[in-house]
Amino acid sequence: MEGYIFDLDGVLVDTAKYHYLAWKTIAQEFGFELTPAHNEQLKGIGREVSLHKILQWAAKTLPENEFQSLALRKNELYLQYIAHIDNSELLVGVADFLQTLKSKGKKIALGSASKNARLVLERTGILPLFDAIVDGTMVTQAKPNPEVFLKAAELLQLPPAQCCVFEDAPAGVQAAKAAGMRVIGVGEEQVLCAADEVIPNFSSFVLHNS
């Protein structure tokens, strides 16, 4: 494989906890208690679809202008949480693995649903390692649609079959398969069973034929 495409949240960093805190505050405002189990279902899902889901769980409907202002306020809260993050937020083994790929001359890309992805890479100090970034500002179709990963391969100037994706969410695994790429799930085997291989984290991951 020549190209390695990484999802952000849950693969490189654990920003899910900040998304959760922000959504929890918003949900409390309309009297809904968002639990960690709810949050699991929001991983890898874009901002607006996440808010639709939360409103559905709360059996609430909102006029469009209120919907948009809640989405905006959620993002303001999230930005406050990530304002001071640093490289200590990188998940175990990530920094070493990215350096290994670089030293072997492999290409590295990001394929994330987050519109704040570039900021997170910058704050955690790994932005310069990326040859291409595809984030939520650049795609029209959410995972499991393969658009985000196909765009990343295109920017790396590599055919999909030469790309390997790392994903923590089932929708992301599906998107990578639909793109015709090898996919390595990062997390639990039973959740990511559609992946070609599943690893708990990067601490003991060795690059063979992946």
* Residues annotated catalytic, as ranges: 7, 9
Strand locations in 138-206 (E)? 163-167, 182-186, 197-199
Size of the site for Mg ion (CB under 5 A): 6
Residue tagged 């063979």 (tokens) = 208
Q: How far is the CB of 61 from ligand B16 (least distance, A)?
A: 21
Nearer to Mg ion, 3 or 10 (CB): 10
Is residue 135 part of the contact set for Mg ion (CB under 5 A)?
no
Q: How far apart are CA 153 and CA 210, in angstroms?
A: 16
Structure tokens at 72: 């905006």
Return the structure tokens found at 164. Answer: 């390997």
Q: Which is nearer to ligand B16, 73 or 115 (CB)?
A: 115
Q: Which of 168, 177, 181, 182 binds Mg ion (CB under 5 A)?
A: 168
CB of 171 vs Mg ion, minimal distance in Å = 9
DSSP 3-state of 80: helix
Rounded to whole angstroms, what are the CA distances from 120 to 32, 37, 147? 28, 24, 21
| Residue 89 partner contact from Mg ion, ligand B16, none using kind-dependent CB cut-offs of 5 to 8 Å | none
**Shortest distance in whole angstroms from residue 177 CB to Mg ion:** 16
Sign of the dihedral defined by the CA atoms of residues 196, 202, 203, 208, in that order: positive
Which stretch in 41-49, 54-62, 84-92, 153-161 sits in contact with ligand B16 by CB under 6 A? 41-49
